[in-house]
């Protein structure tokens, strides 16, 4: 059985990003490419290791298709007490990705700072 997991590393502080809210959506195409709907599946908060305590999706709920993760990273930097300009350069990081094989594991990590981020498909 496949699963979807994530974790967040704050590269500006050199540590995991704890207590970050993450929203997971399934994205479905409508009649045209412009018509798409995003259905919120769940919200989670990262633990002290910057990870979720359980997979975001697994089992029968993990199916092939398009998904979107919203990492509310601006709230995280606010909680740290960083003095950042308003509006923040990076507030919500949105990663939209596809799952082609629901029997495989998909790990979508986020490496983030107040001024940049990167991601990749991990294992």
d(CA 16, CA 14): 7
Q: What per-residue confidence (pLDDT) applies to 8?
A: 98
Q: How many CA atoms lie within 13 A of 26 on its CB side?
A: 14
What are the tens digits of pLDDT across the range 15-72? Answer: 999 999 999 999 998 777 778 899 999 999 999 999 999 999 999 999 999 999 999 9
CATH number for position 30: 2.60.40.180
The alpha carbon torsion through 52, 63, 98, 94 (nearest 10 deg) reads -40
pTM: 0.94
What range defines the domain where residue 108 resides? 3-119
Q: What's the chain's average pLDDT?
A: 95
The tally of domains found in the chain comes to: 1
């Amino acid at each position: 059985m496949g699963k979807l997991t994530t974790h967040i590393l704050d590269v500006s502080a050199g540590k995991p990003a704890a207590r970050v809210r993450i929203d997971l959506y399934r994205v479905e195409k409508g009649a045209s490419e412009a018509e798409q709907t995003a259905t919120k599946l769940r919200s989670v908060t990262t633990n002290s290791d910057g990870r979720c305590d359980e997979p975001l999706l697994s089992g029968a709920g993990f199916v092939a298709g398009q998904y979107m993760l919203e990492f509310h990273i601006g709230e995280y930097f606010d909680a740290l007490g960083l003095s950042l300009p308003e509006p923040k350069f990076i507030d919500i990081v949105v990663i939209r990705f596809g799952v082609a094989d629901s029997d495989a594991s998909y790990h979508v990590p986020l490496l983030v700072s107040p001024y940049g981020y990167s991601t990749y498909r991990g294992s």
